[in-house]
Structure 1
Amino acid sequence: MGTLVTNNQLVQMQNGWGVTYSPTYICALKGSTVVLNCTYTCPSTINGFSTTVERIFWFTKQQDQEPLDLRADSGYAGRVQYHCDEKRCSLTITDLRESDSARYKFRFMTNGTGGNYIGVPGVNLIVTGMDNKSCNRVVFTDRKICAFRGSSVDIYCTYDSFGDITSKFWYSPHPDHRWRKSTNLIEDSRYASRVQVLETERGHSTLKISDLRVSDAAEYRFELRTRSSEFKNGPFGTILTVKDAPTAPSVLISPAGDIIKHTSVTLTCITKANPAPEYTWYKKDQSLLSKEAQLVLNSVQTSDSGEYYCSAENLLERRTSKYAFIDVKYGPETATLSVSPSGEIVEGSSVTLACSSDANPAANYTWLKGNKTLLQGQESIYNISSISPEDRGSYFCKAENQYGQFNSTSLFLDVLYAPKLPSVSVSPSGEIVKGSRVNLTCSSDANPAANYTWYKENENSPVASGEIFTVTAFRAEHSGNYYCEAMNRRGTHRSTLRLIVMARVRTSAVIGSVSVGLLVIILIAVFLWMRCLFYRRQESSTGQAKAEEPPGDRAKPDVDPVYSNLPTAGPRRTRKQKETLHYSSMRFFQSEGDILYSNGRPAGSRRKAKKQVEDDEVDYTTVKPHTASRPSGARSPETREDSSCLYSTVKPR
């Protein structure tokens, strides 16, 4: 409870209850009228119920140990009135009598249990006669003051006098000093150089004591003297209590060392104070937690981490400790794996895996693909700068510290890429017979799986789609150069391999399907053979002269001849012998590398004898150009031939 007086107003407050008197001292003449004023306050609720003021009154004495309402006191009958509203109440007394001199107090009563209050000390009324000039008064601002040793304190009072003041001073009726007369503190050696009296205006006096000592604890009063009288402030003044300042509180955390999640922790606020202080615990940026000297945290959680401090407060002062930090340790409780970018992952792009974990201290991370460890350390990020199909698979991370570990769920990385170089195969792999079933198969490594389209060379439109191109009944027009195209949404890739597929046919089929180009080739071959025969005869007639001709005078061949062990010319054959000749089917390619399959074998079919020429069998063979090899410098008249000739060994069946 504290007491405050300002401008002759006495304010008494306690837990929301209070009465303020203004003024607190009145000196009035007999027969006059006086008005005493006060205001009052009370809590809005008591024990959870709304507070209502039910009765108010003024009194000076008690009856049957209860305050007696002035309106019921026979001594004031017909002379008192109350004027109360909005927590203000005034008492008007008319026709004052000297017996009315007393201390007047105000009481209000509420509907709550224990909700009655009396404002003290009240208003001191002095009634004097017309010839009495000694109506002086002294009012102190504070009834009690507590201060710390070494600090300074100000003690205030106001005073009034109806006579000329001859002297005024502060004194202390200390029990250890038996003065005959009140001694001015300024003249007291105990307060030498530590006491000042300040009076900024008439009727207001301030006693200032600096560098307080424990021995300064005492009651301080003010004395007023006039020519005709001496007035002291009455039975009480301001009581000063000097205490040693409480030491700054400190916080002790028990047990010492690391604080592990789910354990208990005790924080103790340590200080020295007199009187014993009240303690309050706070967590930074949060409201108070406890009013005890110890704060116990049972089964601490991660949310309990933070800065704590305590305050110690008594009537003298409130002191606050420094922050004490609680850091709750725990193992990883989560491990979340994420990937960036979050959309489709394309071959060659940069992919970053991030592992986040809640742990204290921070976790170390182990990166794994399947059961294979990729990386270990403090890095929570695993980066693949240029991802490839080989990086496809399931990844997860493991977070761990000295208090535990936690594995994330697996994350599957699916790497998308355009089709690789397609490979092409033909089935059956051997000779292909007309009318047989032929499967051309194209395969390519791609993600997502590729779609396949088949093309035939020199044709713009595709001939088929799908991984397998099937010709159910192969015919001559199916022969040719094929390639496949593999495509997905990431790109397209064509096979570089060319297939040349030819069918084996029988004699009657071949004769019926001989193209004009093949006939031209046969005629050219016959023409070249006859021309070569002519040159051989001419060379045999020229003899040695032809052999001695300078090499530089010979015509240089444009193309190396191909020799195939032709027999020398013999006697002329009969018509029947000529009809047994075998013709050669020739097909030219740019290079041997262009040919995968060339299924040409002699057909052995026979036809029934209708004509003599149809009884003969014709064999076809594929002739490929090649360069004959011979020793360097070897030259013979018997082997020199025109370089523009192609020869093929033709054997009768």
Structure 2
Amino acid sequence: MSLTAAVSGFVLLLLTVPVIHSQDDWRVTYTSSKVCALKGSTAEIRCSYTYPYTISGLYTKVEETFWFTKESNDVYVDLRTDPEYSGRVQSHCGNNYCTLTITNVRESDSAEYKFRFTTNQPGEKYTGDTGVSLSVTDLQVQVNRLLVYQFSKWTELMCQSSCLPPGHPHYVWYNNGQKIWGKTSISYSGYFYPSDRISCAVGGYEELRSPSVLIQSPNAWRVTYTPTEVCAFKGATVKMHCIHPSMTNQAVHKTFWFTNTNGGRPVDLTTDSEYSGRVQTQCDKNYCTLTITNLRESDSAEYKFMFTTNQSGGKYTGSPGVTLSVTDPQLQINVRRPTVHSTWTELTCHTKCQLPDHSSYIWYKNGQKRKEETVYFLHSPLNPADNYSCAISGYEMSPSPSVYAPKLPSVSVSPSDEIVEGSSVTLTCSSDANPAAKYTWYKEGVDQDHERLSEVLQLVFSSIQSSDSGQYYCTAENQLGTKTSEYIINVTYPPKLPSVLVSPSDEIVEGSSVTLTCSSDANPAANYTWYKGNQTQHQSPEGIHHFSSISSEDRGIYYCKSENPHGEIMSSSLSVDVQYAPKLPSVSVSPSDEIVEGSSVNLTCSSDANPAANYTWYKEGEDSSKASGQIFTITDIRAEHSGNYYCEARNKRGRHNSTLHLIVVPDLHFSGSWKYTAAGTITVVLLAVLSLSVFLWIRKKGASRDSSELEERRDNREQGRIGQQEEQGDLQYASIHFSNHQADPRDNREHVRIGQQEEQGDFQFASIHFSNNQADPLYSNIRPAQPLRHTEQQEGAEYAAVKFIRAPRIRAGEDPAALYSTVNKN
């Protein structure tokens, strides 16, 4: 059906009844379902949209709005980013109304335009499923009648377009590019010269002219097609007609229809294998018809007619030809839920082809005819296995494709072999569904929590990590139902840094049960090896090293190695400290040879213990301890120190002791030969001293008998008396000092040689002090090298202190038997 109109720079809205698509409160309403625009003009498409104010307490906010014509696998191309519309598209939205403006429209812009908006609600995005069809056409000059005279032509022309302009526009006609004044109607007639080229435009949009037409005579070579556009259903039969000129001086040699070319040469449809058995051509004089049966969608094309004559080079092709569009009836699905507890589905059948008035549709469910009506209402619940289709009454052999809920989706993974950490992985979800399904990816988390990932056909991991392992699934959803798949991604990777634990985690006591555990995140599961230092202790896939009864030898530094085919890694060190009671102490004495009276002795005790032991020394037979610490020192040891000593080592885990027998022997060197010699010598010395003292005293007594007592005292002082008369008694004492050098005759002191003792070539001398105590039995205390212990003094006791001093070695030629003494006078 062809409409004669001239349109330029404006848009013609067809079927202006609002088109509404909704799901619950989600809705897109288009101002019209069809828009027709002239090539080069500006087209505007309008819509409004609604959405729920709140969902589960969350206020709905529109985040993005855009128009599109292309979609693939749920990928929508915003027209503002489409290079084919670059600089020609604008979108304006406000108060839930949106307008798409396309400037300088082209014939390639003819398409279905849809509106889509997204919100902040999880996964809530909405698209107006059936959009607005934009048809872009051009003005054409059509020659209705033509009379040819000798020097001119009279013709009737019409400015033609498939769009019907609103109101009563005026037209502008051009001859050879120059405006023809006064010609403002859609058609006119007049005389033209054979070389005239005629074009037309709509008033106000003169820049958008039709192509120029060369007015030919009836005998000129030309082809006229009726109609120039044909729309038909798949499976139907279509006919195309044309008229070619009648030749007066030439004979038409061959006529044929074609659509394909081979090397630039047209291919006769009757010989084209794609049309084999489906094409017929018939010509009656200069009137020819093309018939195509059992139409396919691939038959959509431009068909042209060609004729050749008997003249050399005589051939002509009518261009442009006839445009054939083969289509299917299409089902439009609307799902509405008027209440929370009820759902019903509305199916609408429509086609792009112009149908005769009062055409009806036939509906099918699972291939069986159900009813004949324009709209088919289905009430819930829907069986996901059912499918629905429709057909135009009279074209039942060309039903629409069936619509049905998605089938169980399948998931494919690339690469299909082992997935290694760090590699690129793509998951693809696919499901058989009509309308095409929308896909959403989820990952199952802990506690059956599902994480919504993305609304895409393919889920891509550019560098997959171990944390991405898990159970993924996708849902395929359309207006008729939803199906869910399952798939597990198993990412392999080398072990992560192992964690090491010891149980029990508090103090470990010898003999207890202890478990060391090594664990590492790895896929495939790791094998574990335990080490103590550089020594391998245990290997197992469980990573457990168990001590049923741990001992002190097991303490130390442990670590484990985690390994799988992708790598290995060592853990940090783990210190195992085993506590135990002291072991049997070891005791020792220093010096380790014979212990001689008067020497210094160290008793040492040590024991292996954890925690470290405390030490206490005891002597057998005594209640109290002798000392604390590892070392017990006895200075100036005596015979009475002999006996059994034991050391006790103890900590909070227990105690243990060991015994040491200590024997102190007399100093045989001093108390043997030296002591006997010294005793004899001392006796002789004492007798000599006493005799000398008595003798001197008697002599002085006699000499001073005539002198006064005072004079006698003075003389005695001057002579360095060696005795003194106490007021209380007659006790006298003397201090005899044995020098360690030879007696010197020049010395003014008196020297008394009282004895001599040779000991390894050394002289021994003694210093004898007589006390001034009362005359009582005489006691002596001999101190070699250091003072001996004094006996308890008794009142009135008289004693002497003898100090022995080691003399230098005897020189050669000296008398080793010489022993000198010096008597110091007090």
TM-score (norm. length: structure 1): 0.47
With normalisation by structure 2, the TM-score equals 0.38
Structure with higher Rg: it is 2
Which structure exhibits the higher relative contact order, with contacts defined as CA atoms closer than 8 Å and separated by 6 or more residues?
1
Of Structure 1 and Structure 2, the greater strand share is in 2
